[in-house]
Amino acid sequence: MSLICVSSDSRSRCIVVLAAVLLLLPLAPTQAQSPGTVLQTAIDSLSAERMLADIRTLSGPSFNGRQSGTHDDGQSAQWIAQEFLSAGLRLPNIRNGSLRFPFIQGKNDTLLGAMATVVPTSTISPDPVLRIGTANSLSTRQVGTDYFPIFDSPSADIKAPIVFVGYGIVDPAHGIDDYAGVDVNNCIVLFLRGQPEHYPRAVSHADTVRFARERGAIGYLTATGPILHPYDIRRGVTGSPSAFYGQLPLDQAIPGAWISTALAQELLAGSSTDMPDRLRVLQERLNQAPSSQATRTGRWALLQWKTTTEEGTLVNVIGMIPGTGTETVVIGTHRDHFGRPGGILFPGADDNASGTAVILEVARALTTIDLRPSRTILFISFSGEERDLLGSRFYTSHPIVPLHSTKAMINIDHAGVGNGRLTVGMTGLEKEPLLEAGKTAGVQEKLDLYGFFPGGDHVPFKEAGVPTVTVVSGGVHPHFHRPTDTADTIDLEILKTLTRYVLAVTWQLAYEP
Ligand SMILES: [Zn+2]
């Protein structure tokens, strides 16, 4: 038996991998079939209908949008663990320190396949309010169409004038102060998402909120500008507000909302309608060169909602197929989504019940074949991805097998919508095995192979030096982070194409010598 102990914050956790048990596994290379035939049989066993049923379950009302850290996170984790077991995966015994939560009990005070940590978890009560107008006459705007509260922003009960502050960047060393010329003390600022191309540093949303708070703003509105970057157009970015976490500690945050581009344009058009394109003009100037375009809009906003923040339990679920060697391949995907903030359900069918269904189906296919992989395959269902990769970061800081012997991490996200092509990002690997997998799966004509794919649970693995493969269905995902991301929008052909490929890649990395 090998024993791996890890520590986190005040808690220490010991993770026990029952290697001795694994040696007793009955799997052995078959004499009857060649490995190529075995793989084809596995590929042929994939069922898109079974995956769609899993997507319907995960995105259905019983898991309530799977917000990480909530009771629903724990419920969906238990469901995955049962599905892993039913598929024939082994669940490692994992010790979670003094942390207690309902799960399948293992031996000696361990849980089977659950790795958990405590995270502050915010929920916004139903019926948030945003009203816009003049100081004396405000009209109510529609949540979902006109705005979403930032889902972890503090409770709001404010009314103040709105001041436009460009992209909201303050960096005097690079000649940018988007607040120059205006006083925003006790105001609500409006800033655009992203940053101008001429600005050389990366600015996060958290940075822009900090700048606003430092200047005395008591709240903010943020919107996608009318001028889109070509990359955003390819991704299908629209002017609609998106579900979003600000990821600031509560003592640094101020209330905020993501508003539609149309509403932002209305705010800049002022009380008359003779400047309908004013926001576009201001964004053009901001994009051309560093220059403050800050201006008072003459409009007011009222923000009102109640946020409750409590300690929650974030759960990653791990299943495994033991290999004959000492190395490991991780196939991971996030399970969490945005839950039901403000009373609005975010089903998260494409994002990422679809990826979860993919790894379940790959597990079912690989456990039925009569051949043991050369490398242990770890199937990981991450939580916390929507909250800046909390779950995958927790795993890479507490891996159950050493990261230096983790040969690769395969990440699947957004697997069921798009143009029918597969976007594959890779780091630290040769192209050949990934192209070969495309041929084996019969999908080589649909592959678009790139380098690093920005964003996702592969990022902490890449940062830790583990080679990564990211598989995403190509093209526009029109329901991205919207309440309309439902199981009815999933395309079975896309789901099947992607799963065939993921199975073949897993084979390349885990079964080939
Ligand atoms: Zn996702």
Convert the pLDDT of each residue in 12-62 to its tens digit. 343 434 333 343 444 444 456 788 899 999 999 999 999 999 999 999 999
Secondary structure (3-state) at 408: strand
339 CA to centre of own chain: 13
Ligand 1 centre to CA of 352 (Å) is 5
Q: What is the pLDDT at residue 36?
A: 84
Residue closest to 504 by CA, chosen among 458, 473, 469: 469
111 CA to centre of own chain: 25
Ligand 1 centre to CA of 413 (Å) is 5
Please check the confidence at residue 3 and state whether its pLDDT lies above 90: no
Ligand 1 centre to CA of 427 (Å) is 19
Q: Tell me the C-alpha to C-alpha distance, in Å, between residue 327 and each of 333, 374, 402, 510.
A: 20, 8, 9, 9
Averaged pLDDT of the chain: 91
Ligand 1 centre to CA of 351 (Å) is 5
Ligand 1 centre to CA of 472 (Å) is 10
**Token reading at 244:** 């979003």
Ligand 1 centre to CA of 190 (Å) is 27
Q: What is the pLDDT at residue 318?
A: 98
Ligand 1 centre to CA of 158 (Å) is 32
Quick check: pTM over 0.85? yes
Mapping DSSP onto H, E and C, the string for 443-496 reads: CHHHEEEECCCCCCCHHHHHHCCCCEEEEEECCCCCCCCCCCCCHHHCCHHHHH
Q: 509 and 407 in contact (C-beta within 8 Å)?
A: yes
**Token reading at 91:** 């669940």
Residue 29, CB-side half-sphere exposure with 13 Å CA sphere: 9
Please check the confidence at residue 131 and state whether its pLDDT lies above 70: yes
Rounded CA gap, 317 and 76, in Å? 10
Cβ atoms < 10 Å from Cβ of 253: 20
Q: What is the pLDDT at residue 18?
A: 38
Ligand 1 centre to CA of 484 (Å) is 15
Please check the confidence at residue 473 and state whether its pLDDT lies above 80: yes
Ligand 1 centre to CA of 371 (Å) is 32
281: Cβ contacts below 8 Å, ≥ 6 apart: none
Tens-digit pLDDT profile for residues 209-231:
999 999 999 999 999 999 998 87
With bands split at pLDDT 50, 70 and 90, how would you rate the model's confidence at 271?
low
Answer positive or negative: Cα dihedral of 474, 476, 481, 482: negative
Tens-digit pLDDT profile for residues 325-367:
999 999 999 999 999 999 999 999 999 999 999 999 999 999 9
With bands split at pLDDT 50, 70 and 90, how would you rate the model's confidence at 273?
low
More confident residue, 273 or 208: 208
Ligand 1 centre to CA of 359 (Å) is 14
Q: 219 and 179 in contact (C-beta within 8 Å)?
A: no
Rounded to 10°, the helix 48-59/354-368 angle is 140
Ligand 1 centre to CA of 348 (Å) is 8
Ligand 1 centre to CA of 291 (Å) is 35
Ligand 1 centre to CA of 456 (Å) is 7
Distance, first Cα to last Cα, the chain? 25
What would the DSSP string read from start to end of 211-264?
HHHHTT-SEEEEE--SS--HHHHHHT--SS---------TTT---EEEE-HHHH
Tens-digit pLDDT profile for residues 297-334:
999 999 999 999 999 999 999 999 999 999 999 999 99
Residues in the chain: 513
Ligand 1 centre to CA of 354 (Å) is 9
Instruction: Give the pLDDT mean for 262-284.
Output: 86
Ligand 1 centre to CA of 111 (Å) is 26
Instruction: Give the pLDDT mean for 470-478.
Output: 93
**334-351 per-residue burial string, b: 16 or more CB within 10 A, e: under 16:** bbbbbbbbbebbbbbbbb
Q: 76 and 335 in contact (C-beta within 8 Å)?
A: yes
